[in-house]
Every structure is written in C-alpha cells, then in structure tokens.
Structure 1
Amino acid sequence: MDKIVDGSPMTESDPSAEWALLAPSEETLEFVGSARAQFSSLFPTSVIRTIAEGGPAPMEHWTDLVDQGYLAVGMPEQSGGIGTLADLVTVLEEAGHALLPLPLLASAASAHTLLRAGFDADSLDDAPSALAVSTDPSDVLIALDAAHAATVTVVSATLGGVVIERIAATAQPAAPRDPIDPTRPLVTLERGAVLDRRALSDVTVDDVLAAARVCVAADLLGTATLALEGATEHAKRREQFGRPIGSFQSVKHQIVDGYISIERARSLTLGAAAELVTHPFSATGTELSLLAKAAASDAATGAVALHTQLLGAMGLTYESDNHLAVRRAQQTAGYLGTASDLYARTAALILDRSARG
C-alpha cells in the first residue's frame, strides 16, 4: 500500500516542517477563533441542556458546519481540503470545549480512517458518517454519535491485515444501553449495503485507526479544558473560612495536576498528528496515537472529576452545568479503546519492536 497522508503520497520532509506542525499558524488560530465564536453562538449551554434532557439534535445546523469548512480540514488539497491533521486537532479541540452536539468528531474520524486506508477523497461527501470497529461480521454495529449517519466506516482485523468497509447505515430506535450522554449517543446500526471495500496487508487495526484516535484525543482535550476552566473559576469564587478555596494549597495542587495532565495529552496529540502527517505509517505514529488517546481520556475524566469534587454536593445536580461535561467525557473516553488498554497496547508494540531489533 502506498504511504499516504491526507490522501496524497508522502515523501520525506525536513525536521523543520515537523516542528512547524506543533504550533498553529496565525491563519489556523484565526480559523479556530471563528469556530469558537460560531460554536458558542449556535450551541449555547441552554441548547446542550435541552438535548441532554431528551431534546432532538439540532441537525439543521449541520450545513452550517459544512459551509464553514470544518469537514475540509485535513483533507487533500486537490479535493478541496485545507490544512493538515494537525490543524484538525485544533478545530476538534474547540468542538470538544463547546460540547458540540453534532457528529463532527464521528465524521472526521470516519473520513480520516478512509483516507489512511487509501479511499479516494473525492468519493466522500458531506453527509454525517461514523466509525465502528468490528470483531465479528455477524454482530450488529455499535457506533458513537451515529444516529444521523448516512454511512459507517467499519474496521475489522483479519489474519493477514485489516479490512475497511464503507457501508450504508440504518439507525435502530434503541441504543445498546441508556446513553450516558444523550448529546453524543451510542447507536446500534444495521449493516447496510457495502459501498466500498479495501483489504490491506502488513498493517494493523492500530495503524488504520491512528488518525481517528488523534481526532478523539483532540475532542477530549477540549472537554478537559472546559472542565478545568470551570474548576478554576469555582475555586476563585467559592469561599470557605473567609478565603477563596483556590487559596488553599491542596486545591492549588489539584488544579495544577489537572493542567499538567491536559498539557501532557495536548503535546502527545500534536506530536502524533505531526508524525502522521510527515511519516504516515511509522511505528512511532501509531504508538503516539495510542498514547495521545489514552492521555486525553485520563485528562478529561480527571478534569471533570476534579470539577465535581470542588463543586461539592451540587457537582452532579442540574444546578450546575458540570454534569454536561461529565457525561461527554465519560461517554467519549472509552471510544476506540480505554486508557488502560491503550497504554498496555503501546507497551506491547514497543517491546515487540525492541525484540525484533
């Protein structure tokens, strides 16, 4: 299989290009600022609350996201794409911070998995899509945020490699269990007609899912940052013994620990994105994507737990908006692998590579 990045054959790049990917350009920052403003305008907390309480997803705004170009970020330039996977990380982090109630993450993860598998970017459209990993062709598919998906990308391991299928999706009315986060539900899907199929040899499921895991990590980073901001602001306002609780060393240390956890995950996520852009199927890229997703899961679940603890009794009540971030972090953290599983998988890959010399 050709080495591809964003749908195009990849050649060796100079180290300075890799470093440039680790810091967003002014143009990217302007684009991200526009995304932040649009997300907060279209999806204020009141809208997220309504959906969490059983209201419908505002799919009428999907075209707004498409028109703004978010689905084009990281796609091949010759197919109308802009930027790289590293730029997509910054956009998805904003989406996670906004608790975006539309399937931008699921669609991005699906599209970039197809690109890594060698699918033609021109064959993809702007309709919502989802990503599922299958262990048994006879099983129903369970996918995250797939209620409105037109297609599902299905990744399956085989004895000789990996099979990637793009199938038509038919949503079922019942999810496999009550969703933790109704704004991003798990959905049971029927296997529809196979629209396209690729069988790849000499690659693993982890290789194929590397870009998707980077996308999920970016989204979790946004949610983690939202929770840490909430915890920090509460620590400044809430007083005990005549002082803000943030003045107490034990609270300070917890907030700093949360910040360090987020920055560690952010560094791994940007590093993984840069490696996948410059060396798409390197062992390092796969390992970094596993670590990035694991670290981001830990950062998000840790940040929402800290915010809950500092809020005290009202931490998980509807008096606070914290429960929205808790739901999102818990629902997304296990997608494409739990943190413990991914750390173990990374260790196994590194040990195997070392043993092979």
Structure 2
Amino acid sequence: MDFALTDEQREIRRAARDHLERRYPATRVCALAEGPGGSEAGAWPELIRQGWLDDDLGMVELALLAEESGRCLHPTPWWTTVALAAPYARAAGEPLTVPATFADGAPDGAAPTGAGTVRATRSRRGWSLSGQVPAAPQAGAVRCVVVRARTEEGPAVFACDTGSPGLVVEELSTLDTLRRMAQVRWDGTPARLLTEPARTPEVARLARLRGGALLAAEAVGVAAGALDMAVTHARQREQFGRPIGSFQAVAHQLTDAYVGTELARSLAYRAAWLVQNDPEGSLACAQAVDEAVLVARDAAVRTCETAVQITGGMGVTWEYPLHRWLRRALWLDAFPGFGDDPHGRVAERLLRRDDAGGITPTTLDGR
C-alpha cells in the first residue's frame, strides 16, 4: 500500500509554501501581529484565486495547506474558516467564500471554556439571535459568524454577517495577536438557519473531527517552523570556533524535536486521510483525530520551547520572531473548541486494553 503523497498533493504543498514564504516573511508577520486586527484584510481574494477554498479540496489537501499555514503563521482567517465554520456551511449545501469563524452558544454537557449561551427565536420575519459567547477566534477579522444556538426543539446552527444589526464584536487581549479572540453579542440579530436541530448533533460531531485534524496539521506546521529557525541558528552561531549544532547538547535536542515533529506529522496525515475516507466518522476515525491532536499540540509546544533554549538570550527578545510561534503553539494547546479534552478518551482506551502485555488499571500502581 502506497502511503506517499500524490504528485498533485506535493505540488499543492510546494505552491502553498512558495506563496506564503514570498508574501509572509517573518518580519511582515511580526509587523501584522503588532498592528490592529492582527491579520491582512486584503489577502482573501488572492486565496480564492489560488484555490485555497475550492470545494474539491479533500481533507489531506486541506491538511497540507494548514501545515504550511502553521509553518509561517499565515495571518488571515483561513484556518478558522475551513476548520471551524466551513463544515456547517457545507452540511447546509452553502459554499463559504468569505472569512468566517464559529462560536458555540449551545455547548454539549459541561460548557468548555469560551462557550456561551445564545438563543434563537423564530417569527414571521425569520430567525433572530440573542445572547453572547465570551471568546470566539478571529471574530473581529471575519465577515460571517457561524453559531450554534438553542431553539425550542434543541440546538441548531445559524450564520449571520458581522455587519448585521444587533451584532457586537469586541476583541480581547490575547496571547496570540495573530489569532485574536473576541467577545460576540447578539441582540435580536437576524440570522439564517444552516442545520436543523435534528441534524445538528451529527453535523457537530463530524465538524469536530474535521476541525481536530486541521488543528493537528497546523500544529505540525508550527513545530516545523520553529525547528527551521532553531536549525538555522545552530548552523550559523559559533562558539569555540565551531557551529553550536556540532555540540551534542544542541544536536540531541534538535534530533528529539525533529523526531517529535515527524511523528506528529504522520499522525496528522493519518487523521486527515481517515476523516476524508470515512464520511460516517467511525470510532477508528475519532481515535485517530484524538491521537493526532494530542501528539501534534505537544510537539508544537515542546519544539518551540526547544528552539527558544537553543537560540539562547536572543530567542527570548521581542525583536526575534520565535516567540510568535510559541504563542501560536500555546494557543493551539489551549483551544477548547472541539469539546472535552481528548486525554480522557485516549486514556480510557489504553486502560481498556486486556491483551497480553497490555496496560490494565490493576497494573498502573505496581500492584
């Protein structure tokens, strides 16, 4: 069985990297991070022309684009659009060609951090929304907000334009200024229905699988970008007449970061492939996404921390761009938008193993 990328997929990755490296060098990304909004408003038409929002892109292709976006900290709302909002628009048969994000105003069970309460009411004029969500990613930089709201029949998903009457978006002070969170309030805001209450639970489940796979892919890109900076520094920086990369203490750290990043990449690609080829979102698909999210988020944080250590005092200065990658890694690690923490589900599956040599609850404490 061939697990390699196809020629077309490799070309998509190459074209994406060329475009992003040319348009968003680290100096420009940092300048946008320190400016208002933290994103480039005029880049969206170019993304459409290059096919970044084409309906025929599969999950593997989107994962490659997400990885390259993470590598350079792509300063547009593309990730929030395709990973968070697009699954609901696609379920409704609507193409999503404008920057968008998702806000959960009707969370399942215990509300995750950032979830709020939004209610939808229906009248002769149509649907309207009232309520608020304390933190929605990049709501201040998009033109459409997709929100799950409560109705009399149960949660349903709606969409509304950011310029709609009664909709107020207030950006928050957040660690990652390239992906700012915002408080969103609705006060009788007109909205259009995307998914009926009967379909919403299943659509939300599949949307979380898709979003989780793309989160893992972006985390891999963040790790790869930080590793590139660390390797470049280790080659150029000299001590005692030798590049510091020739010393074992540095080389071993870079090797560990490389191994962690490659492992995360394999799991992210596997998760994306399963989401693409398992439209029902089976248990195996959900397990793959959980594993990819856990490993990729951890690899991003660890690799960024390793890069900071290798670059030494320069790595913790404001002028050096590495802290932007660390901020994104921490953002991804803390993002609660896909429900409960997957650690619990992965641990439960491990503890259920009863095969020979497997882990069981009675052996964890040594008894």
Correspondence for 1:3? none
Correspondence for 1:193? 190
Measure the CA separation in 2 of the matches of 1:127 and 1:204: 21
Measure the CA separation in 1 of the matches of 2:276 and 2:71: 24
Task: Assess, with a 3 A threshold, how the Cα gap between structure 1 residues 268 and 332 changes in structure 2: closer, same or farther.
Answer: same
Deviation digits for residues 52-95 of structure 1 (CA, Å, limit 9, x no counterpart): 222453211111011111011xxxxxxxx233101111111111
Residues 1-357 of structure 1: matches in 2 within 5 Å?
A: 22-56=3-37, 57-72=39-54, 81-114=55-88, 118-120=91-93, 123-134=94-105, 135=107, 136-138=116-118, 140-141=132-133, 142-155=135-148, 163-169=156-162, 172=168, 174-176=170-172, 178-191=173-186, 192-196=189-193, 197-199=195-197, 200=199, 203=202, 206-280=205-279, 281-336=281-336, 341-348=341-348
Measure the CA separation in 2 of the matches of 1:198 and 1:127: 23
The one-letter code sitting in structure 2 at the alignment partner of 1:307 is A
Give the conservation status (yes or no) of the 8 Å contact 1:168–1:195: no
CA RMSD of aligned residues (A): 3.0
Give the conservation status (yes or no) of the 8 Å contact 1:106–1:146: no
Structure 2 length-normalised TM: 0.78
Task: Assess, with a 3 A threshold, how the Cα gap between structure 1 residues 201 and 91 changes in structure 2: closer, same or farther.
Answer: closer
Measure the CA separation in 2 of the matches of 1:345 and 1:157: 27
Q: How many residues align?
A: 322
- Relative contact order (alpha carbons < 8 A, sep ≥ 6): 1 or 2 greater? 1
Quote the offset at 1:338 in angstroms: 9.4
Quote the offset at 1:133 in angstroms: 3.3
Structure 1 length-normalised TM: 0.80
Quote the offset at 1:309 in angstroms: 0.7
Measure the CA separation in 2 of the matches of 1:225 and 1:293: 16
Q: Point out where structure 1 has 5 or more consecutive residues left out of the alignment.
A: 1-15, 73-80
Give the conservation status (yes or no) of the 8 Å contact 1:140–1:189: yes
Give the conservation status (yes or no) of the 8 Å contact 2:237–2:243: yes
Measure the CA separation in 2 of the matches of 1:133 and 1:346: 24
Deviation digits for residues 76-120 of structure 1 (CA, Å, limit 9, x no counterpart): xxxxx233101111111111112110011001113443267x321
Task: Assess, with a 3 A threshold, how the Cα gap between structure 1 residues 161 and 209 changes in structure 2: closer, same or farther.
Answer: farther
Deviation digits for residues 118-149 of structure 1 (CA, Å, limit 9, x no counterpart): 321xx233110112334342462222122222
Instruction: Look up the SS of the partner of 2:170 in the other structure.
Output: coil
Measure the CA separation in 1 of the matches of 2:16 and 2:251: 31
Instruction: Look up the SS of the partner of 2:28 in the other structure.
Output: helix
Measure the CA separation in 2 of the matches of 1:233 and 1:48: 19
Measure the CA separation in 1 of the matches of 2:323 and 2:21: 18
Measure the CA separation in 2 of the matches of 1:24 and 1:198: 37
Instruction: Look up the SS of the partner of 2:98 in the other structure.
Output: coil
The one-letter code sitting in structure 1 at the alignment partner of 2:287 is E
Query: Which stretch shows the higher mean deviation, 148-157 or 298-307?
Result: 148-157
Quote the offset at 1:341 in angstroms: 2.6
Quote the offset at 1:203 in angstroms: 4.4
Percentage identity across aligned positions? 28
Measure the CA separation in 2 of the matches of 1:137 and 1:340: 17
Measure the CA separation in 2 of the matches of 1:326 and 1:60: 26
Measure the CA separation in 1 of the matches of 2:154 and 2:248: 52
Give the conservation status (yes or no) of the 8 Å contact 2:140–2:171: no
Give the conservation status (yes or no) of the 8 Å contact 1:213–1:336: no
Quote the offset at 1:44 in angstroms: 2.2
Query: Which stretch shows the higher mean deviation, 54-63 or 96-105?
Result: 54-63
Find the structure with the greater CA-based Rg.
2
Where is the helix percentage greater, Structure 1 or Structure 2? 1
Task: Assess, with a 3 A threshold, how the Cα gap between structure 1 residues 155 and 255 changes in structure 2: closer, same or farther.
Answer: farther
Give the conservation status (yes or no) of the 8 Å contact 1:293–1:339: no
Quote the offset at 1:250 in angstroms: 2.3
Q: Point out where structure 2 has 5 or more consecutive residues left out of the alignment.
A: 108-115, 119-130, 355-367
